[in-house]
Structure 1
């Protein structure tokens, strides 16, 4: 996360996710990604948070099962199970709608 905008985005998104008392863990460490992937769980996997050169990606494990009236999901829209939110440098993230997705993901895990 050498570029400042990505680090700032990750910190902001992490804050939105963890307000739901979700547990953060680092998984899937490998030589090409020694820092691993931040994962967020509460009664099961909620989402992962990854950085790429041009974006920060939040992938919801059961995203296809979540209501998204604000249309926050903008990636993996045709995937059978997962949905993702790609946030680029100039994008504005709807914090309230994102928190709604987090709450909905926890509710699906608890079903």
Structure 2
């Protein structure tokens, strides 16, 4: 079973409001960029990645938590982050019963996370070897 099928199975097994919220989150995340891939990590956590990890989601007893791996490094103009605000790297959005997923704002946040990942990749890429003046190459 691939990661997308495992996530399908996970969501189908959550029969209360959390399943619907989880499905909404997934739909919005995947719609933000066609390059996003789904992964299944840490023995049962859906992860979305594009040039690095974007976010991981989990359903808990009274919440669906969407944690952005590098949330502290991305702008949140719509103030979606409401959990993990004290961390140095991660930030999270806790959805509770009755909360609606703001598709526009979440999509913008996902795109900001991808941009952050791309910037981080460029910064960490090895510098090209420079050809010495006067040498062939």
TM-score (norm 2): 0.74
Which digits, 9 at most, give the CA deviation of each residue in 1:30-84, with x for residues without a partner? xxxxxx0000000000000100010000000000011111110000011000000
Q: Does 1:13 align with 2:25?
A: yes
Larger fraction in strand: 1
**How many angstroms apart in 1 are the aligned matches of 2:103 and 2:29?**
10
Q: Report what 2:37 is aligned to.
A: 23
Runs of 4+ in 1 over 3 A off after TM superposition: none
How many residue pairs are counted as aligned between the two chains? 105
Q: Secondary structure at the match of 1:10?
A: helix
How much has 1:2 moved relative to structure 2?
A: 3.2
- Pairwise CA RMSD: 1.0
Q: Report what 1:89 is aligned to.
A: 97
How much has 1:3 moved relative to structure 2?
A: 3.5
**How many angstroms apart in 2 are the aligned matches of 1:82 and 1:8?**
24
Larger fraction in helix: 2
**How many angstroms apart in 2 are the aligned matches of 1:99 and 1:52?**
23
**How many angstroms apart in 1 are the aligned matches of 2:67 and 2:109?**
11
TM-score (norm 1): 0.90
Please show how residues 21-60 of structure 1 align to structure 2 within 5 Å. Answer: 21=34, 22-29=36-43, 36-60=44-68
**How many angstroms apart in 2 are the aligned matches of 1:63 and 1:54?**
22
**How many angstroms apart in 2 are the aligned matches of 1:15 and 1:108?**
21
